[in-house]
Amino acid sequence: MKTYIHFKGILFISVLTFISILLFQSCTSVNQKTDTYGDILEFTDGIKVINTHEHQRRPEEFGLDSVGFYHLLGQTYLHHDIVSSGMQDLNIQTNGINDVAELWKQYGGPLDYCRSTSYYGHFIKGFQKLYDFDDNYFTESNIPVLNAQIVKNYSNYPAWFSSAFEKAGFELIFLDRYWNSLEFDIDMSYYAGIIHINDMVMYSNLRPAPGEELKSIYKKANEEGHTIKSLDDYLTYCDLLIQRNVEHKAVAFKSSLAYARTIEFEDVPYEDASKLFARPSGNLNREEAKLIQDYVFHWFVKKTIEHKLPLQIHTGYLAGNGNQLDNSDPMKLVNLIRRYPEANFSLFHGGYPWTSEFIALGKMFSNVYLDLVWLPQISREKAVLALDEMLDCVPYNKIFWGGDCAFIEEATGSLEYGKSVVAETLAKRVERGLLTKDIALEIAERIFRYNAVEVFRLEEILGREF
């Protein structure tokens, strides 16, 4: 009996000691993780970020003379998750700034269902960074307060944008104005221009018949005294638009054609495209129309080589609801990448959900660069895994970051999310002995700044030091 008690005592003490060791070890490892993660995150806060992709718009470009919480919500990716939950689309034109209580009754429930998504998480991060907002979720009681602050800030949009741009940590944003892609009036103190080619490709098979209303590129060409009768005329005018963009210091070409068609572009002979262009556009079938577009797309790739500008290409997930996702598989670009080794392709969005294929292209081809843009907002956890896999496979001079948002609040939240993804991935690798901390910091600085400076030749084109 005595022996038994003694044995129980020893056992008790041993178990206590074992638990203490376990607790100590786990605390130590949590602290180490927190320290490394925290240090890298703090370092990223000091980087002046080159943001390779945004769609920032002034409120008047949305037809808005005042902006409140629901206007911002209506232009975020988060509203697509609200639709996905089963809710009708938000229409910012009809949602006022003074009816937040009423709007919560409609949207509060669906919004709450999105509290776990990355669309929700990155959106709220922007308010935590830029506003006096500490809550983890949007609620019936905090939205009216936030709404009043947003309305006040947007009453002087230029001042608000300027202060938010600075506070977020941006130095330069590449601005993709797909909604007005033939014009060049951008504010060069924040932005660098992008030559968005969608309209020029997609209108190539839509030459108006005599007497038909002129649209897009045909209208603009006509207003400037150019007549487009042949494929050569069309490309000559496209060339003029490219020249103007280059004179305005554009730093890249951009295609988001996956929203409209497949990103598989066949190599079509000039004679075939030219003959098809000469026929009345109304008589062309879908396959014939595609052939003209394919020819023009290849023509643009040759132009990117001539101007030594990278071509940014949307791959993977398509914003919105109910799109033709299989149009955007990055593997459809292999023929193009192989055909033009002198062109530089910057593939977007981690190719989600084809992230491994996207990474394999970056590994295999020296002319393929990988942009994390928007991936952390689609799925933060996938972004951590994808960046980890990228660092396994791809030299780190080939990785960029961009935001892809319409308003500065969401762009800021995207950057906060991007930084947390990069810091978490790098910290894990440092803790596992796969990287030293100094190289981890170099990688962070390259992803958020110096890779873009080098590959997009920013010093040469913009004529300033970075």
- Contacts for 331 with CB less than 8 Å, ≥ 6 apart: 354, 357, 361
Beta carbon nearer to Zn ion, 208 or 351:
351
Tell me the closest approach of the beta carbon of residue 55 to Zn ion, in angstroms.
6
Tell me the closest approach of the beta carbon of residue 143 to Zn ion, in angstroms.
27
Residues 357-396: x where in contact with Zn ion by CB under 5 A, - otherwise, as a string: ----------------------------------------
Beta carbon nearer to Zn ion, 199 or 288:
199
The count of chain residues that interact with Zn ion, using the rule CB under 5 A, is 1
CA distance 101 to 122: 24
- Which residue's entry shows tokens 């998504």? 117
Beta carbon nearer to Zn ion, 55 or 429:
55
Q: Which stretch binds Zn ion (CB under 5 A): 33-41, 212-220, 296-304, 398-406?
A: 398-406
Beta carbon nearer to Zn ion, 373 or 430:
373
Beta carbon nearer to Zn ion, 314 or 429:
314
The answer to whether 136 and 127 are in contact (CB under 8 A) is no
Report if residue 54 touches Zn ion, rule: CB under 5 A: no
Task: State the SS3 of 363-400.
Answer: HHCCCEEEECCCHHHHCHHHHHHHHHHHHHHCCHHHEE
Beta carbon nearer to Zn ion, 53 or 298:
53
Single-letter amino acid, residue 435: L
Q: In what order do the strands lie in the sheet with 252-255?
A: 49-54, 170-175, 191-196, 252-255, 311-313, 345-347, 368-371, 399-400
Alpha helices in 224-346 (DSSP H): 231-247, 270-278, 286-306, 334-339
Tell me the closest approach of the beta carbon of residue 386 to Zn ion, in angstroms.
18
> Would you list the DSSP string of 177-233?
-GGGTT-----TTTEEEEEE-HHHHHTTT-PPPTTSPP-HHHHHHHHTT----SHHH
Cis peptide before 330 (omega within 30 of 0): no
The answer to whether 202 and 296 are in contact (CB under 8 A) is no
Chain positions 124 to 143 lying near Zn ion, rule: CB under 5 A, are: none
Single-letter amino acid, residue 406: A
Tell me the closest approach of the beta carbon of residue 379 to Zn ion, in angstroms.
17
Tell me the closest approach of the beta carbon of residue 439 to Zn ion, in angstroms.
31
Tell me the closest approach of the beta carbon of residue 227 to Zn ion, in angstroms.
33
Residues 400-429: x where in contact with Zn ion by CB under 5 A, - otherwise, as a string: ----x-------------------------
Q: Which stretch binds Zn ion (CB under 5 A): 207-215, 238-246, 385-393, 397-405?
A: 397-405
The answer to whether 49 and 401 are in contact (CB under 8 A) is yes
Tell me the closest approach of the beta carbon of residue 176 to Zn ion, in angstroms.
6
Tell me the closest approach of the beta carbon of residue 193 to Zn ion, in angstroms.
15
CA distance 63 to 337: 40
CA distance 35 to 169: 22
Beta carbon nearer to Zn ion, 146 or 373:
373
Beta carbon nearer to Zn ion, 288 or 404:
404
Residue numbers at the binding site for Zn ion (CB under 5 A): 404
